[in-house]
A = this chain, B = another copy of it.
Amino acid sequence: MTLSTILTRIDTDLDNALDRLMELLRIPSISTDPAYKADCAKAADWLVEDLKSIGFDAASRPTPGHPMVVAHGGEGGTHVLFYGHYDVQPVDPLNLWHRDPFDPAIEETDKGKVIRARGASDDKGQLMTFIEACRAYVAETGKLPCKITIFLEGEEESGSPSLVPFMEANAKDLTADVALICDTDLFDANTPAITTMLRGLLGEEVVITGPSKDLHSGMYGGPAINPIRVLSNIVANLHDDTGRITVPDFYEGVPELSDELRSQWEALGFDDKAFLGDVGLTTPAGEKGKTVLEQIWARPTAEVNGITGGYTGDGFKTVLPSVAKAKISFRLVGTQDPLKIRDNFRQWVRDQLPPDCSVEFHDHGAGPASVMATTNPAFAAARAALTDEWPNPAAFTGSGGSIPVAGYFKTILDMDSMLIGFAMEDDSIHSPNEKYDLRSFHKGIRSWARILDALSN
């Protein structure tokens, strides 16, 4: 059987695959620092050459920032677009690294062998799992398993300024049947995950003004309205006693969890105690009657991310301030409409203002949730393929955070995304001593080979 010979080739070729990854890791492609502009171009060129060597029609495509790598190859089966990014985070504080971040090495650790380098996990190691799977396929069968477009960005760690314009200008060139995004974690060391629900995000800054200037709290305390008190009341009113958000119509478009997902999630055996215990907590503080996983993956939230007003330095100042501010974000799910929620939230705040207070709002972004159409047969095929590779069955999971590129694939290219990654929570991405487990790399390559095989029919 072809798949088993491909998997065997992956096993025997692993050292060579590691050598190739090391070469890529040695290029310090830090996208946010202009000093590394040439290195970003070099990483893109390296990938173009590597992709050409396995038969892709690949090119480094200029943008106002760092280049995009776009490659086409194969035919038939499901047409997939694979997305990854070749740029990496800065490395400071450098003194906390125990080796040069751009001199990669295999290290033995308590938990097994790891590849240590900046970008080992995020995202060079992860994107190479896909390319190595393609290579093994071509080496064994002479061709790619299906029609594949590869799309590698060089600005993911610096805000992706060129991403949307490039996607809009090259929509035809990039559109496929389904997108594959390799920038996420395993659920745990033995359990692969396909993230199918990403929460959306609405960011609002609320600025309440009371008196026209800062006052002395002895001279004015009592008759003068204090904007900190007004703001605190509003924040306090944002949730009811059961943890539900009180903004009118907020829950419009929030779906109940399907029985199918509920049982998949229950089977994951998520350890609430450990999850909360890691950050010093014991008691879930979200909506009553919802599990912790539901609270993170499937329920909307309102969080105050920052609050400030009056004197906040050392010591004490008896000021009655003119202004108090809060940054509030809403995580959104299902088909919640961020723009409608913004309007309702702002009106809800205005309705609570006492006399003499005014409010200003500052917009900090509004993006809906991404909910993938898992009825697309590619999802079931990929899930089965992952389940074949790993000890535990793969699950469709959610993510509390937002991965904007998945939203753009949906809104600009009308594609669902399968977010499949092999990183571990302890990979220290964005931190000193980043690593990628050798097991993640090896089984990651095998996983993609299985998925591509499943999608080749």
Does any Cβ of B come within 8 Å of A364's Cβ? yes
Contact indicator per residue, chain A 260-304, by CB within 8 Å of chain B (1) or not (0)? 000000000000100110011111111100001001100101011
- The total of chain A residues at the interface (CB under 8 A) is 79
Q: Which of A1-9, A78-86, A217-225 contacts B (4 or more CB under 8 A)?
A: A217-225
Contact indicator per residue, chain A 158-193, by CB within 8 Å of chain B (1) or not (0)? 000000000000000000000000000000000000
Does any Cβ of B come within 8 Å of A212's Cβ? yes
With contacts A213-B279, A281-B210, A282-B356 taken as known, whether A222 is within 8 angstroms of B306 at the C-beta atoms is no
Q: In the assembly, how many copies of this chain are there? A: 2
Cα A354 to Cα B307 in complex, Å, equals: 20
Residues of B within 8 A of A220 (CB): 279, 296, 400
Q: Which of B199, B276, B283, B308 contacts A308 (CB 8 A)?
A: B308
Most chain B CB inside 10 Å of its own CB: which residue of A199, A228, A320: A228
Does any Cβ of B come within 8 Å of A450's Cβ? no
Does any Cβ of B come within 8 Å of A305's Cβ? yes
Verify A305–B317 contact, CB threshold 8 A: yes
Residues of B within 8 A of A308 (CB): 307-309, 312
Q: Whole-angstrom distance from the CB of A244 to the nearest CB of chain B?
A: 12
Q: Which of B213, B219, B331, B399 contacts A296 (CB 8 A)?
A: B219
Closest to A209 in B: B280
Cα A377 to Cα B416 in complex, Å, equals: 88
Q: Which of B201, B299, B355 contacts A282 (CB 8 A)?
A: B355
Residues of A participating in the B interface, judged by any CB pair closer than 8 Å = 199, 201, 203, 205, 210-213, 215-226, 228-229, 231-233, 235-239, 272, 275-276, 279-287, 292, 295-296, 299, 301, 303-312, 315-321, 324-327, 329, 331, 354-356, 364-365, 399-402
